[in-house]
């Protein structure tokens, strides 16, 4: 069985819809231009049935009453006078079958051009017609007999009705343009909606991916053909990312197992050697380096997990719940080190993210300030309405200006303070930066007014 495509192929594409709406608008305007003149009383056309019947009755009445008279001109004047007296907006004109005007009343002076023109257009009493000249509607001819002679009767009536709306539009280009715009507006709105809906869905999907939510969205594969293709490619990309992340997770698990196993055997061997030979500087050095290597492996795996899994556990929380206990613990720890830590008031500012990562990132920065500051550490937390800014200052030795951007690189240490004797691995700030970036935030290092290092963290408010 063949599958029948019930959708019109031209309208399934974006360019096809734009093209179709453009020509549909022009077609509607063209139809109005072509059909409009048919309703124009200024054009010659057949008399409406009800008016034709009335005029035919008038012609029959005149024939029946005046056909036996003797004086034609006198009878014509009498008929015209009575018709005008009966209806001041009505005038009757009479001609011979050859088109010669028989009666020239005073009213003809203002309508002579209209009558003469109409005589050339309509001279068949079998098919009487009408045409508007200014405010005068001419109709006829009607075959009548007066004073034993055959004459043609034409009816002139004052036209009170305004021109039809469509004709007033066609007569004025400005109004025609305005109506064209109004007619095309619904189609253009529909086109704008058809374009914006898939674009908005694609935007929201991209924002979700930017936040680390690698989820396919079947709605992306709807709409015009170009957007459907883009949505399919986007979902394929998300699927490839998920496959890559799964592979990386397996690789991290394997690395963790393969690295920790020999490290565990090394530490067991060191412990046995110490039991047999006693303490020595060499064995202590091996044990210290093993501890450092284990810490480095743990932090390296933590960094990788942050970059891969941070989107999996996100929730709505607030600044007070995240960092109040951390600040209190840091203040207590600083006091035991004979240092002073102060922080500004915490508010319940809403934040969406991974609570563990956000707490770990800020705690890492604060503990670094306590560790490398001399005796003063300040933490200022400001809510600007759209972002939350956390500024941590210390009065330590600080970081040289040319190395401020490098301290976030993995394994990078500043020679003045972050050397191997400090016990650091050079991964703490890299982990912090990755956690902040995973939440669409920023972290910047600069010189502190206190003389040491200033760390500025900015996070979006939910």
Q: What's the confidence (pLDDT) of residue 163?
A: 59
The answer to the question of residue 222 being in a domain is yes
Looking only at the bridges linking them, the beta strands covering 315-318 and 350-353 are antiparallel
In a shared domain, residues 326 and 431: yes
Could you report the per-residue pLDDT of 173-185, keeping only the tens digit for each?
666 667 667 777 7
In a shared domain, residues 336 and 455: yes
In a shared domain, residues 175 and 185: yes
d(CA 156, CA 134): 12
In a shared domain, residues 442 and 342: yes
Whether the CB-CB separation of 62 and 146 falls below 8 Å is answered with yes
| Domain around 28 | 14-39+166-196
d(CA 392, CA 380): 7
CA distances from 221 to 10, 93, 226, 235 (A): 18, 74, 10, 9
For position 306, which CATH number holds? 1.10.287.130
The helix/strand/coil state of 400 is coil
CA distances from 143 to 68, 304, 384 (A): 16, 104, 92
The catalytic position among 51, 84, 148, 257 is 257
d(CA 225, CA 231): 10
Could you report the per-residue pLDDT of 299-345, keeping only the tens digit for each?
667 666 665 555 556 788 898 999 999 999 999 999 999 999 999 98
Q: Decide if 257 is catalytic.
A: yes
In a shared domain, residues 170 and 148: no
Look at the chain and report how many structural domains it folds into.
Answer: 4
Q: Which of 293, 312, 331 is the last residue of a domain?
A: 312
The answer to the question of residue 7 being in a domain is no
Whether the CB-CB separation of 137 and 48 falls below 8 Å is answered with no
The two tokens of residue 350 are 């809403």
In a shared domain, residues 241 and 106: no
Q: What's the confidence (pLDDT) of residue 2?
A: 38
In a shared domain, residues 155 and 66: yes
- Strand-pair partners of 460: 387
The candidate with the shortest Cα–Cα distance to 342, out of 226, 203, 450, is 450
In a shared domain, residues 285 and 401: no
Q: Which of 267, 292, 312 is the last residue of a domain?
A: 312
d(CA 322, CA 436): 14
The answer to the question of residue 5 being in a domain is no
d(CA 130, CA 55): 12
The answer to the question of residue 207 being in a domain is no
The answer to the question of residue 420 being in a domain is yes
For position 113, which CATH number holds? 3.30.450.210
Look at the block and give the residue holding tokens 């604060």: 366
The answer to the question of residue 204 being in a domain is no
Count CB neighbours of 104 within 10 A: 15
Whether the CB-CB separation of 433 and 408 falls below 8 Å is answered with yes
In a shared domain, residues 364 and 271: no
Phi, psi of 456, rounded to the nearest 5 degrees:
-115, 115
In a shared domain, residues 335 and 248: no
Q: What's the confidence (pLDDT) of residue 76?
A: 81
Cis check: omega of the bond before 434, within 30 degrees of 0: no
d(CA 434, CA 361): 9
pLDDT tens for the chain, residues 1 to 462: 334 444 444 556 666 667 777 777 777 767 766 665 555 555 667 777 878 888 888 888 888 888 888 888 888 888 777 777 777 677 788 888 887 877 665 555 556 677 777 877 787 888 888 887 777 788 888 888 888 888 888 887 777 666 555 555 655 666 666 766 777 777 777 777 777 777 788 888 887 777 667 778 888 877 777 777 888 888 888 888 778 777 776 776 677 667 777 877 887 888 888 888 777 887 788 878 777 777 777 766 766 666 555 555 678 889 899 999 999 999 999 999 999 999 998 888 888 888 888 888 899 899 989 988 888 999 999 988 889 999 999 998 888 888 888 888 877 777 654 444 455 566 778 888 888 888 888 999 999 999 899 999 999 887
For 266, left (φ over 0), alpha (ψ -120 to 50), or beta? alpha
In a shared domain, residues 328 and 271: no
Look at the block and give the residue holding tokens 């014509």: 76
In a shared domain, residues 35 and 69: no
Could you report the per-residue pLDDT of 412-449, keeping only the tens digit for each?
777 654 444 455 566 778 888 888 888 888 999 999 99
The answer to the question of residue 206 being in a domain is no
End-to-end Cα spacing for the chain? 53
For position 438, which CATH number holds? 3.30.565.10
């Amino acid at each position: 069985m063949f599958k029948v495509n019930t959708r019109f192929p031209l309208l399934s594409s974006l360019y096809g819809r734009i093209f179709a709406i453009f020509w549909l608008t022009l077609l509607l305007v063209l139809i109005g231009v072509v059909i409009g003149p048919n309703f124009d009383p200024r054009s010659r056309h057949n008399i409406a049935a009800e008016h034709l019947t009335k005029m035919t009755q008038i012609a029959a009445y005149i024939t029946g009453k005046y056909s036996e008279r003797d004086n034609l001109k006198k009878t014509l004047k009498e008929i015209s006078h009575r018709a005008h007296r009966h209806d001041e907006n009505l005038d009757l004109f009479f001609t011979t079958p050859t088109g010669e005007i028989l009666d020239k009343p005073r009213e003809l002076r203002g309508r002579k051009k209209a009558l003469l023109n109409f005589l050339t257009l309509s001279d068949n009493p079998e098919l009487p017609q009408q045409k508007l000249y200014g405010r005068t509607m001419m109709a006829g001819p009607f075959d009548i007999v007066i004073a034993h002679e055959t004459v043609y009767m034409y009816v002139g009536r004052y036209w009170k009705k305004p021109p039809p709306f469509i004709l007033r539009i066609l007569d004025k280009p400005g109004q025609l343009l305005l109506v064209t715009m109004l007619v095309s507006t619904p189609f253009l709105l529909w086109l704008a909606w058809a374009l914006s809906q898939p674009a908005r869905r694609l935007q929201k999907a991209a924002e979700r991916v930017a936040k680390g939510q690698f989820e396919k969205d079947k709605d992306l594969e709807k709409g015009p053909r170009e957007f459907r293709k883009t949505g399919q490619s986007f979902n394929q990309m998300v699927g490839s990312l998920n496959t890559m992340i799964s592979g990386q997770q397996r690789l991290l698990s394997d690395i963790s197992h393969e690295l920790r196993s020999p490290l565990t055997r090394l530490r067991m061997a060191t412990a046995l050697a110490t039991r047999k030979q006693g303490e020595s500087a060499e064995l202590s050095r091996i044990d210290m380096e093993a501890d450092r290597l284990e810490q480095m492996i743990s932090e390296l795996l933590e960094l990788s997990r942050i970059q891969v899994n941070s989107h999996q556990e996100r929730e709505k929380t607030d600044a007070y719940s995240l960092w109040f206990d951390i600040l209190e613990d840091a203040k207590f720890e600083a006091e035991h080190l004979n240092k002073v830590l102060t922080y500004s008031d915490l508010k319940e500012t809403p934040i969406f993210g991974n609570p563990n990562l956000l707490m770990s990132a800020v705690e890492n920065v604060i503990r670094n300030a306590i560790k490398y500051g001399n005796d003063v550490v300040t933490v200022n937390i400001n809510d600007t309405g759209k972002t939350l800014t956390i500024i941590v200052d210390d009065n330590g030795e600080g970081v040289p200006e040319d190395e401020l951007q490098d301290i976030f690189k993995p394994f990078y240490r500043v020679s003045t303070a972050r050397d191997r004797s400090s016990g650091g691995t050079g991964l703490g700030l890299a982990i912090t930066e990755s956690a902040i970036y995973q939440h669409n935030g920023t972290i910047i290092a600069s010189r502190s007014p206190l003389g040491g290092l200033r760390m500025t963290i900015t996070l979006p408010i939910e």
